[in-house]
A and B are shown apart, each in its own frame.
Chain A
């Protein structure tokens, strides 16, 4: 059973490497939100069932997993600090009022940043993101993407964004999919 499990994990890791390396931003397009949510859950489950949950972090719209009584900084470092804090953009790093305040009443965009840097600080290699919050404007989205691009490039991690925004797919043809790849079959693809 242990050997079988190990082979299964190796096969899954190979699939991830095949699909999401080199480190950077990857986009997967969905026609509707339901299909996106289903795939998000399937991908998250695939990581867990293949024993790779420690390699992955998720950025969820519904369950941000932010502990309200901890400061924003403590939430970012909740799983330890395996990468330098300098990965966090300077503007955020210097905003000590926000960083050392309780993580309550956060805007969806703020929650997005916390989840991203929490995953990176925890040393996770793959970060799975469930699209952008509905009320996030194009400028805010661009700002987040630029910031995430820099952070993942500097940390050697990959951010996999599941999105209904076809514009992102067209803007990144080499690192995007119109149809979500099957993680379990991708090792040999």
Chain B
């Protein structure tokens, strides 16, 4: 009970840095969930592409083998891109947390000394500081999630555009626009499909059935990875800070 009281009171006492922590947590949640939802959308588009190919006969698919391979490589490339960005956001959060913990550990030197002097153990002090960080993250995470939920329609439109742009970029590295046009024209020659040439790779672009609006995904992945990116650097910094404070107290 006293432990919780300490953590809650400390949150109020250090409200300025924790407010910054709240913003960072919210921002990370938005970035991570957007990227994970985008990955999901890209995978759904890729599956849709495979399904659309089934409307062509085997000989047509064989003749368009190079085109199909290029498109598949482009989808995989976009996936890797999203993955890299997601990892970058996790690393950025861990680095910011590391710097933030160093700053806070310095700010809390006197407080840490006080806890050590009354006989609190290092795990007890670290647990309190970590709990404060986790409360801030959970609140920031919750707010960001609510914000994202309010803008799912807008988010879907943005993600569709982003996915299309990235696919175009990846495809242009694989095959030139003119040869792509030529190859698709050949594939579609004398074939009846429920989609147009433009929507072969990106269904939103042309005529034809469109995938459902993407559902916000990555809630648990974002939550767990965010907690890991917070707990590991903070534990490290606070443990060193307490070890140094204890040494100072013993030798001063």
Contacts and interface: CB of A to CB of B under 8 A. Distances in A.
B9 interface: yes
Interface string A98-117: 00000000000000000000
A79 B118 contact: yes
Contacts of B249: 63
Interface stretch (A10-18, A23-31, A53-61, A137-145): A53-61
B6 A63 contact: no
B12 A69 contact: yes
Interface string B105-123: 0000011011111111000
Interface in A57-83: 57-58, 60, 63-70, 74, 77-80
Contact of B118 (A48, A69, A118): A118
Interface residues of A, number: 22
Contacts of A58: 117
Interface residues of B, number: 19
A67 B5 contact: no
Contact of A69 (B13, B113, B116, B120): B13
A58 to B, nearest CB: 7
B111 A68 contact: yes
Contact of A63 (B9, B10, B12, B113): B113
B247 interface: no
A78 B13 contact: no
Interface string A163-182: 00000000000000000000
A67 B37 CA distance: 45
A70 B9 contact: yes
B10 A78 contact: no
B2 interface: yes
Interface in B85-120: 110-111, 113-120
Nearest 8 Cβ contacts at the A-B interface: A65-B117, A69-B13, A65-B114, A69-B9, A65-B118, A67-B114, A78-B118, A63-B117
5 contacts: A48-B250, A68-B13, A69-B12, A78-B2, A79-B120
Interface of B: 2, 5-6, 9-10, 12-13, 110-111, 113-120, 249-250
